Each structure stands twice: as structure tokens, then as C-alpha cells.
Structure 1
Amino acid sequence: MILLLIFVGMLGSVIFISLPRGFNQLKLTSKKLIGLYLAVIWLAILWLPLGLFGFTNFIKAAIPVSGAMFTWITVNRQVIVISLMILYLLALGLTLRIRKFLVLLLSGDEAGFIRTLKLAWRDGSFGDLVRSWLAILEMVVAVFAIITGITAFNHLISNQTIWFISKGLINFVVPIVELKTMLRLFSSSIHFDWKSGRLWVFGGVSLLLTTVIGAANVNNGRPPRPQTIIVHRGVIDHNGTGNTIAALKKNSRFHFPYVEMDIQETKDHHFICAHDDTVSIPHKRPQEINTLSLKTVKKYHHVELFGDYLKIANRLHQPLIIELKVTNQSDKQMGTRFADQYRAGLQRLPHRVHSIGYAYLRQIKRQLPHTQIGLVTMLNFGDMSKLNVNFYTLEHYTVSNYLIRSADIDQRQIYTWTDNSRLGMFRSAIMGVNGQVTDQAQKLAHLKINLDRDRWVLLLNYLLDYL
């Protein structure tokens, strides 16, 4: 937080110093100074989805989050994300419409805050708004090209010295590109006076700060741990139907450490093997399974009971990682009921349970203290290190080094899902995870990882940091 406040202060100073000669020699009144830094804070907030010079992932992984909050946000993620995207686009569009506000505010005119907003609105135009959006798109494309280009070069030439130079180059060049775009957008009059000593001091310190943060965010890779291979829904390379006893029987012969599968609770408290929260009922909208009785679900769909699946898994000596599915309509005592119903079967092998439902995991842990419980992420956000679980199953596309560091603080196991490409498998392994949930278990089993040769993959993490 202190680093973030320093960064915002430095950013405001760079913007002020970069004003044309005459503007930055004006005496700042307290009102103008407050207005300047409120505007800079607002710009920093708007820049969060665009990486904020590498701070976004750091901030996202540091947000305190309770178990109940984590579950609610994850269950309602689609509505929340769409709503936030709409609000963000509106806020960014309106801000671009009044993008000359800062120059007008810091001019010699003593116009009030509201009058300055009106002047900035009047100064804008539809054409200017379109050009502003294009400038942001140009920045995104440029940052993407810089990072992927440097990554591709490291893929072709494996050299540790080149690797460290590449990290420094990304951390130096990308913030300049983003800063230039921000300055260009939020006043057409802003320019760099390269003869200004203050500009070099403030700009240099700001770049140093972002470089340090960026360098800390991408690790240098870890010697890969032996990967725990977790067969996603019991299927390997599309050789069966997920979450079925037939697939379990077919693929347990490979003796992978775990088969991951999904269960849903019906309205009358039966647990069935199913991934999707809803089932289709003729002449009706899709219905959530936990609002229907087992008899109703069976009337329209083939159903396999979890109790039968668990018995077969125990007979085949195949440990499971069971994903307990959660919706807004899930029964409040679902975890306790699940543990009570399957207490004996769950303790025959080292079966595990993971879920987005933190409260249900804690219910299971209270009933079955020796059963390992894990938190599944769909959106990688928040500081989850204080949540009392044994392991994490993290969505692999947006997993960051900050998140892995916070989750790994107590040596808890970290898995990623669903890694099916060689690139994704390399990245997760070199970032230091303990295992991977995959539809391509054989591919992962035969994956040969060389840290010095494959470290280049980690440079792709800068796409998460800066975009």
C-alpha cells in the first residue's frame, strides 16, 4: 500500500512536470493540488484493468477476502464481471470525453471544479473520443507485441544472461509505452521537456519503482517439482464421458494419483455425478439440479449416483478429488450432509474434496478432520492465504506469481486447472505448482521440463502484469 501511494504521488508529479513550459511554473493552490491528485487517483483506478504499470496483479492478490465473500463472488462471477465491464467502459468513455480536464484545471484560470468539468466536456468531441480509444488499442497492441516478441526471442535462444536482460527490457520499455499513452490521452498539450531536471528525477524514480515491482512479479523459475497428475472428470484425451463410472473404470488402470470429478446435490439431498449446475427439462428453461428431486432428474437424464461412483473408486484403489458444486440455492448444510452420508467410503482411500464453497469445505473438515480440503478458483483474486484449507486448485490462465506466493506461504499444495497444452503445462510446472488437473494426463506424464531451456515461458506472465 505504501509503494502504491508513493507511485501515485510520483505519477502526479510526472504529469505536472511534463506540462508545457509555463504551466508547471504556476503556483499550485491547495484546491488545484487536491484536484490534481484526485484526478491522478482516478486515472490510476481506470488504469487497473490495463495493468497499472505492473501493479494490478499485486493489488488483486493483496485484497483481503473472507471465505463467504470468495464464494459469493465466484458463484455470481458472470453477472459481476459483465456489470463491472459495462461500468468500466462507461467510466473510461466519460473520462476520455473530458480528458483535457487536467490542463484546464492547472491553467492560470481560477475556474471552479464544476466549471472546469463543463469546459473539458465542451472541448471534447466524438472524433476525439474515437481517437482516444484507438490510442488505448494502439498501446495494448504495442505492449503485447513487445512482450511476445521478447518471449519468442528467448524461446529461440536459451541463455540466462539474455533472460535477465529481457526482464529488465520489458520492465523498462513497457511502462514508458503506457506512461506515454496516459500523458498523451489526458492532455493533448502534455509533452516531455527533456531539459527539465525535475522530469528526469521524478521520471527516473517512477520508472525505477515500476521496474522493481515488475521484476519482483516474475520469478526466475523453480526446478520443477514432480507433478501430481489429476485426471479431469476421469477422462484422458476424450476417451470417455466425464464424471461416469465407465470412464473411471477405463482410466483407473493407468494408476494416476487422482481422478477429479464433480457432484451436485439434488433437492431431496442425493448427490449425483454431474458437472453442470443445470439440466434441460422439456418445454422449460434449464433448471438447477439442487431445485429438482432425484426422481425428476432421472425422468429426463441418465444419472449416476456418487455413492456408486465412490464404491467403484474404492474397489479400484483410485483416489478421488471430488468437486462439490455450489450455487446460490445450495442447502446451507450440504457439506455436513455430504460428510455424514459418505463418511466410511471417503476414509478408505486418501480422497480429497475441493470446492468454491468455503463454508461447505469447513463443514466437511469438522466432520472428517483427516480429509484434505481445497479451494477452487474460477477468478484468481484476493489474498487467500488466511483461508483454512489444505490445498488450492487455481484457474491456470490468470494465475500469477503473487497469488502462488501467498498461497504457498504455509507450504500448502497448489494445483492448476485445466492445463491441456504443452505451453500451459510448462508454465504451471516452472511457476512451482505441485500438480495439474488435465484432460491430457498422458501428455503431462511424458512432459520433459528443463528449467534453463524452458524458462522463457515465464516471460508470458508479463502479459498479465501489464495488460
Structure 2
Amino acid sequence: MKVIWRNLCQYSKNFWQHWISFIILFVGMDLANQLIFIPLFRLATTYILQAGGIPFISYQNIGILVTQHTMVVIGLLVELVLLLLVIYWQFACLLLGLRLILANQISFKRLMKESWLVMQNIRPGSLPLMLLYFVLVLPFVDLVFRTPLLSKVQIPEFIFDFMTRSNMLLAGLIVFYVIITILGIRLILTLPLMIYQRYRTRDALVASWRFTQKLKWWQYVKQLIVLGIVTTVSLGLFYLLIYGLQTVMDLFPGKLAFIIAIFNLTLVQVISELLTIWTGTIALQVVISLIDDFSADKGQIRKNSWWGWAFLTLLAIFAGGLIVVNNYYYLKGSGLTRPVTISHRGVAEENGVQNTIPAMKRTHRLHPTYVEMDIHETKDHQFVVLHDENLKKLTGINKTPHELTLAQLTKLTARENGHRAKIASFDQYLNAAEKLHQKLLIEVKTTPADSKGMLKRFNRQYGNRIIQDHDLVHSLDYRVVTGLKQLNPKLKVLYIQPYNFSYPQSIADGYSMEYSTLNFEFIQQAHHQKDMVYSWTVNDADVMKQMMYNHVDGIITDNLGELNSTIDDYLGSQSYANRILNFILAVPSSGGLEP
């Protein structure tokens, strides 16, 4: 432990001797990402899809893309190659910048020159190996090599939720992550070797495996664990101090509490960013110490040049001004609106069987704006309220809705959460909702067994009624969105998206987006087009606050009671201390290296 502390103290000393240069490097790269690279890649993806007349990419149209839209596929592959090159360049700038700063040789011109020389070392055959490498190091992006571009490559949360529902799938997921973690740890030196010692990708992978053999990797993993603990505890104590200070200041009358709140919230953001850069710099030194000794004396410490101070000063003034203005309006409560509340599958806190009338009646007492529910077509071309494509989970009968008539289906009893209830037809469910004056968000489920006239029949039977009841429709199948909008333009139809990597562009009236890939940029673009955005399925209070902070229009949840109380806490609190706390929970610090 003494060796670990000694090393971390030395790496921390290195940081504080050059802290201005590190801030300029990291913040400069962050601005380049947020203002240039991320918008450009999103615009490129959107433009490529629009040029091919494709509003989205999902599992539903992958086959069509490959067989019928060759130029679109080529364009997306070219974009992927450019993305890999940009990410590689970012790593090169970080690692080269780290070495140049610690050697007192940093300059913008030299950094660009050396990073360009590194880029010239890449060969086309290395790209597949680079892609594999980036996938392997994803578990470590929060600790070591975090970039906004790479960190956006993530598996949507609903996939993890699905995998954890089965013991076999959960075991497979655990084994998969153990293997990925081991490979990521053993190969983490690949990029440093490519950038510092100009190794080819394949040679760097082999060398990284050799450098980390016989548990040599454990020495840097232990240091990273200690670093993570120190960072987390330090940040937690700092947040606790600020919260306590603001709680005391809120007792004072007049505007003093508000002024101090702006200062405290700004301090939270500045210290969080500084601690993030400090942690990332030390983490990089920990890993690279396996191939280079940064603890050695590199010579006399050179004072930072005047341009460094000037750049930092201008950057601080610009960023500080934006932060203070944003904090002013946030603490004032300006722009905060109450999102619509949506009960997922008509249940709240497991108060009944999903998609059944008794559960909907209980949930209605919690006053959701909408009750979200699902419908399938039956064997006799009617509509039953059901989510799964198979009845076995809820009824024990291994049949699909298309194998039974509506009369047969409505005789079945579903069991869940210690409750039991009859399966309902859509007519029965709609009638019950109308008696309660409860608005619905109707998800139209589709399967290959659906009849050709399903949408026409749905619109003919229920279209005008849905409009009169101010209900909404959404679907994961984009053909449902386009079909219903063509049949009945007055219907409000949303498109369900399980992941997000391009700007919103479709004929839908809005989007139901899986929350883990939903961001403020997508919401802002949708609002610019006057489209609504709902997030699903949000069951955690902190994530609910993140969604509200990003101005989402509605939240779909299994825990409606918790959502109601979270909204009241987030919007109704008059305490500046609580608003600062809500900000901390809604916008958590990255906890790692994010240039």
C-alpha cells in the first residue's frame, strides 16, 4: 500500500506542477469534441440516411439496407472509419500531450506535428484490429481513456434488463464481461505502444499481452482502484460540504441565499471538472508507467508561458459566464416544466398484472397523464391487450395471440406480481379507460403473422375514437408510424427507438426513446421540429431527474408513485440547497477522463 500511495502522490505532484497545461489540453479537446466532432458525425449520419430516403436504422431494416441501399452502407462504413481515426487521434493527442507536458516541451505546433506523424503510421489493415481494441477497452473508458465519442458507444439499458431476467442469460452476460474485462486489462497498453513507440497494431497487441503477463497488470489495477476510491470520497465530502453550507445560507432572508447558491453551484461544476482532469491525468500515468517511468525527474520545471495564462483566462471568463447565467436560471426555476407521467404497461409499483383492467384502475388513482399499454392482432383479426408475443409467461399457455381468437384469449387468466386478472380485449380496455377519463398511450405490436389489412382495420375501428379521447399511439415498427399517419394524419403517432445515434428525422409526431442513449441534443433537435420526446423505461429517481434536467416531455415508468414524488421534489423545492443537490444527482460527474 505504501508503494501505491507513493506512486499516486508522485503522479499527483506531476499534475499540480503542470496543472494549467493539463487543463488547456483536456478542456481544449472537450470543446473540439462538443462543438466540432460530435455535431459533425451526427450531421453526417443524418445526411447519409436522408440522402438514401431512410429515416432510421434498426434491426428491422438492416437487411434492406445491405441489399437495397449499397451507397448508404458504404457511406456509413466510411463514417465509421473516420470515427475510428478521430478517436485514435484523440488518444494520440492525450498521450503525446501528457509526455510533452511532463517533459516541459509542450506546444500546440509540436503536439499537432507529432500526432500527425502517429496518424501516418496507421495502415488500412489495422482498422479492424483497432475497432476490436476499442470494444475491448470500453469497460475502462470511465477510468482511463474516456472520450465523448467513444463513451457514446454503449449497450442500451433495456438489453441489460432483458439479460438479467433469465439465470442462463445472466450467467452468460457475467462470463462475457469477465472475458472482456480480462482482455481489456491485458491489451490496454496497445495504444500507448502504438503512439509512443510506433508499433504496428498487431505487434502492439502482442507486446501489451507480454507486458501484462504473470499478473503484472494487477499493480496498475490496484492503483486505479485506490484512485477511484479517493476521487469518489473526495467528491462526496465536497458535495456534502456545499450542501451543508447552502442549507445554512437558505436560512438568511433576502437575496443573499440566492447569490451564495449561484456561487456554490458554480463551484460544484468547477471543482468537479478539475477533479475529473486530475483523476484522468493520474490514471493515464498509472497505466503508462508499465512502459515509461513518469516519476523520474525530467529537469527543471518550466513556468507556464503567458499564452497559457491568457488562454486559460479567456476560457475561464467565457465558460464561467455561461455557467453563471445557466445557474441563475436553473436556481430561479426558469424553463422547468412538469413532464407528463406515463404508467408502463398500466402498472405502478407492481400493483397488478400488466395490461389488465384491474391494474389500470388501481394505477389511475395515482393520476398518470397516460397509461401505456400494448395491443396484438388475434387469429380472427381483432385486438387484444398484451405485450409479449407468447402467452406462456403470464398464462402458462405456450401460444401466440395469432393462434387464438379474441374470445379464447379473453377467457384466459394472467398471473403476475401476486395478482391475477383476465386478459382484456382492446375494446374492453378502451371502454374502461373512457369511464375513468384516463388517456392512453397505445403501443401497436407487430409480428410477421399480422394480416395485411391490420392497420386499416385498426384505424377504421378506433382512429377517430382515439383522437376524441386525446390518446396517443406509438410503435417500434416504423411501418406502423408511416401507415397510420397516411391513413389518418390527425392521429398522434410516436416512433419508439431503442437507441439514438442521429438527429430525429421522420414523419412521426414524436419519439419514445430508451433513456440510456437519450441526450439533451436529441431532445433539443426534436423540440426544434415541434416533436415531443418521451423516455422509457425510467425506474430510478436519479435518472428521472436527469431526464427532467434535459427537458424531456414525458417519462414512462413502472414506478409511477416514485415518479410523482420525484417530480414534486425536483420542481417544487424552494430550497436552493435541494436544487443544488438535484443538480448533482441529475448531472453526475464523469468520474474519469473526459477531454
With normalisation by structure 2, the TM-score equals 0.58
Q: Please say if residues 375 and 385 of structure 2, whose CA atoms lie closer than 8 Å, have aligned partners that are also in contact.
A: yes
Q: Please say if residues 319 and 350 of structure 1, whose CA atoms lie closer than 8 Å, have aligned partners that are also in contact.
A: yes
| Equivalent residue, structure 2, for 1:175 | 277
Number of residue pairs the alignment of both structures matches: 446
| Equivalent residue, structure 2, for 1:306 | 426
Change (3 A) 1:423 1:156: farther
Aligned residue for 1:182, secondary structure, equals helix
Letter in 1 for 2:186: R
Change (3 A) 1:420 1:181: closer
What CA distance in whole angstroms lies between the structure 2 residues aligned with 1:286 and 1:450? 54
Change (3 A) 1:113 1:3: closer
Q: Which deviates more from structure 2 when the two are superposed, residues 112-121 or residues 355-364?
A: 112-121
Letter in 2 for 1:435: G
Residues 28-78 of structure 1 show CA distances to partners (whole Å, capped at 9, x for unaligned) of 8998664489899777665555345461588469xxxxxxxx9xx989996
Any gaps of 5 or more consecutive residues in structure 2? 1-32, 39-85, 164-168, 247-260, 414-421
2:551 aligned with 1:410, yes or no?
A: no
2:294 aligned with 1:191, yes or no?
A: yes
Q: Please say if residues 147 and 170 of structure 1, whose CA atoms lie closer than 8 Å, have aligned partners that are also in contact.
A: yes
What CA distance in whole angstroms lies between the structure 2 residues aligned with 1:286 and 1:75? 24
Report the aligned-residue RMSD: 5.2
After the TM superposition, which residues 367-378 of structure 1 pair with which residues of structure 2 at under 5 Å, given as runs? 367-377=487-497
Change (3 A) 1:415 1:118: closer
Q: CA deviation at 1:395?
A: 4.2
| Equivalent residue, structure 1, for 2:338 | 226
Q: CA deviation at 1:156?
A: 3.7
| Equivalent residue, structure 1, for 2:463 | 343
Q: 1:278 aligns with which of 383, 390, 398?
A: 390
What CA distance in whole angstroms lies between the structure 1 residues aligned with 2:115 and 2:432? 76
What CA distance in whole angstroms lies between the structure 1 residues aligned with 2:551 and 2:204? 52
After the TM superposition, which residues 218-297 of structure 1 pair with which residues of structure 2 at under 5 Å, given as runs? 220=327, 221=330, 223-235=335-347, 239-249=351-361, 252=364, 256-266=368-378, 268-280=380-392, 288-289=400-401, 294=406, 297=409
Change (3 A) 1:308 1:112: closer
Q: Which deviates more from structure 2 when the two are superposed, residues 315-324 or residues 83-92?
A: 83-92
| Equivalent residue, structure 1, for 2:264 | 162
Q: 2:505 aligns with which of 386, 405, 410?
A: 386
What CA distance in whole angstroms lies between the structure 1 residues aligned with 2:342 and 2:308? 48
Letter in 2 for 1:323: E
Q: Please say if residues 265 and 271 of structure 1, whose CA atoms lie closer than 8 Å, have aligned partners that are also in contact.
A: yes
| Equivalent residue, structure 1, for 2:79 | none
What CA distance in whole angstroms lies between the structure 2 residues aligned with 1:411 and 1:125? 56
Q: Please say if residues 19 and 190 of structure 1, whose CA atoms lie closer than 8 Å, have aligned partners that are also in contact.
A: no
Q: Which deviates more from structure 2 when the two are superposed, residues 140-149 or residues 405-414?
A: 140-149
What CA distance in whole angstroms lies between the structure 2 residues aligned with 1:454 and 1:132? 38
Higher relative contact order (CA 8 A, sep 6+): 1
Residues 341-375 of structure 1 show CA distances to partners (whole Å, capped at 9, x for unaligned) of 42242232111012333332222222221121223
2:178 aligned with 1:97, yes or no?
A: no
| Equivalent residue, structure 2, for 1:318 | 438
What CA distance in whole angstroms lies between the structure 2 residues aligned with 1:234 and 1:283? 18
Change (3 A) 1:156 1:325: farther
What CA distance in whole angstroms lies between the structure 2 residues aligned with 1:306 and 1:327? 17
Change (3 A) 1:373 1:135: farther
2:100 aligned with 1:17, yes or no?
A: yes
Q: CA deviation at 1:127?
A: 0.8
Q: Please say if residues 264 and 274 of structure 1, whose CA atoms lie closer than 8 Å, have aligned partners that are also in contact.
A: yes
Residues 266-300 of structure 1 show CA distances to partners (whole Å, capped at 9, x for unaligned) of 45543211234432189989655456654664565
Letter in 2 for 1:55: P
Q: CA deviation at 1:304?
A: 0.6
2:148 aligned with 1:55, yes or no?
A: yes
| Equivalent residue, structure 2, for 1:362 | 482
What CA distance in whole angstroms lies between the structure 2 residues aligned with 1:201 and 1:291? 77
2:570 aligned with 1:454, yes or no?
A: no
What CA distance in whole angstroms lies between the structure 2 residues aligned with 1:329 and 1:16? 61
Q: CA deviation at 1:142?
A: 5.1
Q: CA deviation at 1:310?
A: 1.6
| Equivalent residue, structure 2, for 1:127 | 215
Q: CA deviation at 1:181?
A: 1.7
Change (3 A) 1:373 1:137: farther
Aligned residue for 2:336, secondary structure, equals coil
What CA distance in whole angstroms lies between the structure 1 residues aligned with 2:493 and 2:457? 16
Q: Which deviates more from structure 2 when the two are superposed, residues 287-296 or residues 335-344?
A: 287-296
Q: Please say if residues 245 and 309 of structure 1, whose CA atoms lie closer than 8 Å, have aligned partners that are also in contact.
A: yes
Change (3 A) 1:114 1:59: closer
Residues 98-129 of structure 1 show CA distances to partners (whole Å, capped at 9, x for unaligned) of 45556666788x98765565444333314123
Change (3 A) 1:246 1:461: closer
What CA distance in whole angstroms lies between the structure 1 residues aligned with 2:307 and 2:457? 60
What CA distance in whole angstroms lies between the structure 2 residues aligned with 1:119 and 1:201? 41
Q: CA deviation at 1:265?
A: 3.1
Residues 149-193 of structure 1 show CA distances to partners (whole Å, capped at 9, x for unaligned) of 544444444422111111121122213312432342244224265
Q: Which deviates more from structure 2 when the two are superposed, residues 352-361 or residues 137-146?
A: 137-146
After the TM superposition, which residues 106-145 of structure 1 pair with which residues of structure 2 at under 5 Å, given as runs? 117-135=205-223, 137-138=225-226, 141=229, 144-145=232-233
What CA distance in whole angstroms lies between the structure 2 residues aligned with 1:76 and 1:326? 23
Q: Please say if residues 356 and 375 of structure 1, whose CA atoms lie closer than 8 Å, have aligned partners that are also in contact.
A: yes
- Percent sequence identity is 20
What CA distance in whole angstroms lies between the structure 1 residues aligned with 2:351 and 2:91? 53
Q: Please say if residues 229 and 444 of structure 1, whose CA atoms lie closer than 8 Å, have aligned partners that are also in contact.
A: no
2:472 aligned with 1:352, yes or no?
A: yes
With normalisation by structure 1, the TM-score equals 0.72
| Equivalent residue, structure 2, for 1:67 | none
Change (3 A) 1:114 1:250: closer
Q: Please say if residues 373 and 385 of structure 2, whose CA atoms lie closer than 8 Å, have aligned partners that are also in contact.
A: yes
Aligned residue for 2:93, secondary structure, equals helix
What CA distance in whole angstroms lies between the structure 2 residues aligned with 1:235 and 1:282? 15
Aligned residue for 2:294, secondary structure, equals coil
Q: CA deviation at 1:202?
A: 12
Q: Please say if residues 57 and 402 of structure 1, whose CA atoms lie closer than 8 Å, have aligned partners that are also in contact.
A: no
Any gaps of 5 or more consecutive residues in structure 1? 62-69
What CA distance in whole angstroms lies between the structure 1 residues aligned with 2:449 and 2:220? 44
